[in-house]
Amino acid sequence: MTKLVIGGAQMGPIQRADSRALVIDRMVALLERAAQAGVEMLVYPELALTTFFPRWYMTDPAEIDAFFERDMPNAATAPLFARARELRIAISFGYAELTPEGRRFNTAILTDRDGRIVGKYRKIHLPGHSEYDPERSHQHLEKRYFEPGDLGFPVWRNADVVMGMAICNDRRWPETYRCLGLQGVELIMIGYNTPSVNSQKGAEGLEKRLFHSDLSLQAGAYQNATYVVGVAKAGLEDGHPLIGGSIIVDPDGTVIARAKTEGDELIVAPCDFAACAFGKTTIFDFARHRRPEHYGRITAQ
């Protein structure tokens, strides 16, 4: 059974004016720190290359397009891929994807330890709204800028571990973890950008937001006997606060590494994937204990 040192590369805020080159420098600096710590698989946040632009209501196509990547890798991200290959660290990170057909997705990719892209996931649970909403304290326009992912919830065997990805709001949905769990997932990587306040419920602040993030990630890990890594983009971005709270959770649901800051910060945990077997062969042995004949409502439209 495989052992792998897993890292979470929490990122502090990225301001709207920050260039891709500046961001990639920060991502490479985190990669170098990860190498020093012996990390073999490093997870970066959702939309890691830019500010969380869905907070801005935009109508100018050129302004919107500037936040999207047409190719991956591309000229801006090539140094990150090259350094990851040299250091033999597999990576995953999120970005806004514009396809040759003009489709737009909130996407994450996964590389192997040779810097080759081996997996792609497109966010399925898009939160927020599509038109400007004056009732909200801030906008969350993911439904405006992205369409729901069309790739389902695949898994990949990478570095001899069964890996899956999800993105931010996906972490609040048990269906995400179960779709991956049913394929024997052992490591789920989830980047996020979560505002520190609820735009529709003023009293819900940082403490509860961190609690709900932990609750979701820990429950998903335990109920599917898998490691889960949740990685934030955090801090005051364009005047809007985002939670930190990046964690690595073991298959028991226990937090084994936690970020302390809201800045660029590495969290690390040596993970023994043999630990997934206990839950998968006992209380969460899906083949023996699930009752899908009673779950029809979950998939009914």
- Active-site annotation, residues: 46, 123, 168
Q: Does 168 contact ligand CDT by CB under 6 A?
A: yes
How would you class 212 by CB atoms within 10 Å of its CB: exposed for 0-12, middle for 13-18, buried for 19 or more? Answer: middle
By CB under 6 A, how many residues form the interface with ligand CDT? Answer: 10
Binder of ligand CDT out of 73, 79, 127, 270 (CB under 6 A) = 127
Stretch that binds ligand CDT, among 18-26, 189-197, 284-292, 293-301 (CB under 6 A): 189-197
Q: CB of residue 48 vs ligand CDT: minimum separation in angstroms?
A: 12
Radius of gyration of the chain (CA): 18
**Going residue by residue from 31 to 70, which x/- string records binding to ligand CDT, judged by CB under 6 A?**
---------------x------------------------
CA distance 41 to 113: 8
CA distance 113 to 111: 7
Q: Does 205 contact ligand CDT by CB under 6 A?
A: no
Binder of ligand CDT out of 193, 196, 224, 226 (CB under 6 A) = 193
Q: What residues have CB less than 8 Å from 40, skipping those under 6 apart?
A: 4, 5, 6, 88, 89, 90, 113, 159
Q: CB of residue 165 vs ligand CDT: minimum separation in angstroms?
A: 14
Stretch that binds ligand CDT, among 74-82, 108-116, 144-152, 168-176 (CB under 6 A): 168-176
Q: CB of residue 54 vs ligand CDT: minimum separation in angstroms?
A: 7
The answer to whether residues 277 and 1 touch, using CB atoms and an 8 Å cutoff, is yes
The amino acid that residue 68 corresponds to is: F
Q: How far is residue 27 CA from its own chain's centroid?
A: 15
CA distance 117 to 69: 15
Q: Does 194 contact ligand CDT by CB under 6 A?
A: yes
Q: Does 140 contact ligand CDT by CB under 6 A?
A: yes
Q: Does 169 contact ligand CDT by CB under 6 A?
A: yes
Q: CB of residue 218 vs ligand CDT: minimum separation in angstroms?
A: 16
CA distance 109 to 185: 16
Q: What residues have CB less than 8 Å from 21, skipping those under 6 apart?
A: 76
CA distance 122 to 95: 10
Stretch that binds ligand CDT, among 2-10, 178-186, 192-200, 263-271 (CB under 6 A): 192-200
Binder of ligand CDT out of 7, 128, 181, 245 (CB under 6 A) = 128
Closer CB to ligand CDT, 172 or 178, in the complex: 172
Q: What residues have CB less than 8 Å from 43, skipping those under 6 apart?
A: 6, 7, 8, 9, 91, 92, 93, 189, 191, 229, 231
The contact set with ligand CDT (CB under 6 A) reads 46, 127-128, 140, 168-169, 172, 192-194
